[in-house]
Chain A
Amino acid sequence: MLNRRYFVTSGVLGLGVAAFPGVGWAAPGTNKKFVFIIQRGAADGLATLAPTGDPDFLRARGDLAADAAAGVKLDNMFTLHPAMAESAKLFAQKQASFSHAIASGYRERSHFDAQNILESGGDRPYARDDGWLGRLLSLLPRDDAKGLAVAPAVPLALRGPIAANSYAPSRMPDANSDIMARLTNLYAEDAQLSALWSGAQATEAMAGAAADQGVKGGKALGQMVAGLMNGPNGARVVMLEANGWDTHFQQKGRLNAALGQLDALIGSLRDTLGSEWNNTLIMVATEFGRTVAFNGTGGTDHGTASAAMLFGGSLANGGKIVADWPGLKASQLYEGRDLKPTTRFEQFASDALARHFGLDPIRTKRALFPDFT
């Protein structure tokens, strides 16, 4: 049992063109929507989706592994963190699937380089100035290529040839409409500012009154974002940023809070999207995982592989965990300290997106992650 390889092949991995006979390149207009939630700061996949079926997990993490047992047991191997009750329900309804021991091609331990690679989809830090979500927009029918970042400015992942908008709720009183029109004129000769300005005005108009109420917590955020996605002019490709994952110290309480917010956000998106939930795919991923062993201060340091998640009302392979489990014995760890990556994030993301949007998987991969072969 100790050396057992935990391997599920029926997941989104391993699907090629053959699985998509007759899928054209430029898909016709669809109602499909995609939300990418980036966990900035390196979320601990071993605590989120705990390999409680691996006896070495208990050995490596002791008391903290025992805490994981309070979560929902998803199968013989994995237990979902107790703070993720909504996600566990979705898993039971086959509206969630998870991938473990997953990482991008990055193998060092800098947050900033790793986030750059996770967002750009490149193979070296700072080698590209556009991102895979931005490139995804180019694959969609022009009318569907509506990208939105819930942030003051568009993060790298969503940058590309088709400009995405950014939106952040404000507690300031609105400026009057006359100055808006004059700014359109003032920015007319400035390519950068005129593009930003027209996008900002359109998004502001859509957000309407909801915008001026403070947005606090995962539930309120989910309601606001769903509001920006619903309706014919709603955003189709959305990026959200979740913080609070860099748990070097006192991991237990902090991770509990961060996962609780994430879980509330996902539950709230499902509830507020209503019937559109069936057209929606949510992906959650982080730049790398954390050390298998706890450090000296009740936390974990920067590691390598972590877990990634998919949610959606009509998820293919819902209720499955895809993991080529590498094991947690000292000899099985990456550089003697981290969960070894056995699945590439690039493959996971491009397969999930090709399937969701009805695109050719090979060409999707080539477009989104051109450096990944």
Chain B
Amino acid sequence: MTTNAAIARNRFGLGARPSASATDSPTDWLKSQIGKYDPALSNSASQPSRASIAASFRDYQLDPKDRQVAGKDAAAIMPGDNMSQIDPAKIEKVVNTLRVQYIAAVDTRIDAAISSDTDFAERLVHFWSNHFAVSIDKLPVLALAGDYEFTAIRPHIMGKFSDLLFAAVTHPAMLLYLDQAQSIGPNSPLAAQVAARRNRKLGLNENLAREILELHTLGARTVYDQNDVTEFARALTGFTVGGMSKGPVQRLMAQNGKDGDSQFFAAIHEPGDRLVIGRRYSQKSEAQARAILSDIATHPATAKHIATKIAQHFAADVPPSSLVARLEKSFLESGGDLPKLYRTLIESPEMWLAKQAKFKSPWDWVISSLRALNVRELPNNRQGANMLAQMGQPIWKPGSPAGFSDMTENWAGGAALMRRVEIASRIAERSANRVDARALAPRILSTQLGALTAESIARAESPSQGLALFLLSPEFLRR
């Protein structure tokens, strides 16, 4: 393998496998993945439907009449992560049920990553899934996170950014994670009705609106202010999730949507025109938020934000400004055409420098290790999820809507390195009788393999230790 082939596989892709052919044209190999990528997953048939996820969540909740006794919070009539809605005796059971669904989804993701031949595209799935992060520390997200990545992210990474954005922010996992599902227009028909009947005030939650502007599109400190956030939050009212609880509003909603699905529920939409970033939006109902999303998706600030994040992920923590500028231009001129953006990235000379500037995240490192060792599936479930959790990157649990950091200093820590030593030792033990690290190292790393690493592997006390040292070498910890 040439140096460029190693870069294509290790820096753009998820890591070379020993079978990687030596005759690839690295750029053609990468570009061909844009067409070959299959968003469908071979083993996603085992994934539970949204309706069954909603059912397993809903079935353990208190009946509305019991809830009246348990608490009188206004939000309890809307879907969400309200643990007080759940029968305390059944909390453990619901968490276990949802956790089983989560583990199955994690295994599906890992299987796809270690077996894929279009692993540059798989890396892009992971990149976008993390860009539009949800986190399973909210209970309803626990079971929906897999469905989110598989149905909102995967099918849209080879299209327009605006379509990816819309799919991501209106998926039930995102609506529940960032509290949009509970946000109600204070002057909406339903709010008026509730205010009159029960003397309760329902209202806005600006969480999703803010994070769309700050994290998903324009970026912090750009062109919006607090008024834009509030106006956008008003426009977003109506997007919610049906069938997640037993409340009266849920029963109303159920008539126009499927359980566990996103829907636009006009009765909670804030009426009126909205003014967002200097532009007036007079559309009615759902079309209003769609129009705003569509405008911000192609805004120059968004182009800059996305270009910077892509460059940080693929090239370096502080990427060359020439690379960022080229990506930004590509995004802006194509109106956010993602395949064009990827081609620009592949053709950028800054991407092909020999220096390994990126320290692998735990996910990157585990997946590239399994690929290097030609492991096709993990011996038992939970193992992948547990390993990543131990290393500080539990899958779909970044703990914040910003997602996991792409910066070296967040992963290159003493404790994190110690975990990698423990895990490399375990992975190596299992493969040692069929893989020779001395032959494997140059096949994976090509000319990037340094003399000290080659020598350390050769002098190892056992085949297993040799493999562990290879996985822990500076060249394999970086890409």
Contact = CB atoms under 8 A, between A and B. Distances in A.
Interface of A: 40-41, 108-113, 125, 149, 151-154, 156, 159, 165-168, 170-176, 178-180, 182-183, 185-190, 192-193, 196-197, 199-201, 203-204, 243, 248-250, 252-253, 295-299, 301-302, 335
A367 B17 CA distance: 50
Q: Please classify the interface of chain A as helix (H, G, I), strand (E, B), loop, or mixed, using the class held by over half of its residues.
A: loop
Interface string B218-253: 001100001001000000000000000000000000
A178 B459 CA distance: 12
A204 B215 CA distance: 36
B179 to A, nearest CB: 5
Contacts of B202: 296
16 contacts: A112-B220, A151-B413, A168-B416, A172-B426, A186-B452, A186-B472, A192-B412, A199-B414, A248-B205, A249-B80, A250-B82, A252-B73, A253-B84, A295-B205, A297-B183, A299-B205
A125 B221 CA distance: 9
Contacts of B400: 40-41, 111-112
Interface centre among B214, B392, B415, B425 (most CB of A within 10 A): B415
A196 B203 CA distance: 49
Contacts of A173: 422, 426
Interface of B: 73-76, 78, 80-84, 178-179, 182-184, 186, 201-207, 210, 214-215, 220-221, 226, 229, 390-392, 399-400, 402, 409-419, 421-426, 452-453, 456, 460-461, 465, 468-469, 472-474, 477
Contact of B205 (A108, A243, A301): A301
B210 A302 contact: yes
Contacts of A156: 409
Contact of B423 (A172, A189, A252): A172
Contacts of B426: 172-173
Nearest to B229: A109
A108 B220 contact: yes
B392 A179 contact: no
A152 B416 contact: yes
Nearest to B402: A112
Given A151-B413, A151-B415, 13 more contacts: A109-B229, A166-B413, A166-B414, A175-B424, A175-B425, A183-B469, A189-B452, A190-B474, A196-B414, A204-B418, A249-B82, A295-B203, A296-B201
B6 to A, nearest CB: 19
B81 A152 contact: no
A298 B75 contact: yes
A151 B391 CA distance: 10
Contacts of A152: 391-392, 411, 413, 415-416, 419
Contacts of B76: 298
Given A203-B414, A248-B207, A250-B75, A186 B390 contact: no
B78 A297 contact: yes
Contact of B417 (A174, A179, A185, A196): A196
Q: Which 3 A-B pairs have the closest CB atoms?
A: A296-B203, A153-B413, A200-B414
A306 B142 CA distance: 31
Contacts of B186: 296
A329 to B, nearest CB: 20
A186 B75 contact: no
Interface centre among A109, A125, A295 (most CB of B within 10 A): A295
B472 A183 contact: yes
Contact of A249 (B205, B221, B229): B205
A174 B425 CA distance: 9
A173 B425 CA distance: 9
A170 B220 contact: no
Contacts of B421: 175, 179-180, 183
Contact of B214 (A110, A187, A189): A110
A278 B223 CA distance: 50
B84 A250 contact: yes
Nearest to B392: A152
A335 B415 contact: no
A113 B220 contact: yes
Contacts of B210: 109-110, 302
Nearest to A187: B474
Nearest to B461: A178
A165 B416 CA distance: 11
Nearest to A250: B82
B392 A168 contact: yes
A153 B78 CA distance: 39
A179 B205 contact: no
A84 to B, nearest CB: 21
Nearest to A190: B474
A185 B456 contact: yes
A42 to B, nearest CB: 11
B231 to A, nearest CB: 14
B413 A154 contact: yes
A187 B83 CA distance: 48
B182 A249 contact: yes
A107 to B, nearest CB: 10
A355 B392 CA distance: 36
Contact of B221 (A108, A250, A298): A108
Given A172-B426, A186-B469, A250 B81 contact: yes
Contacts of A167: 414-415
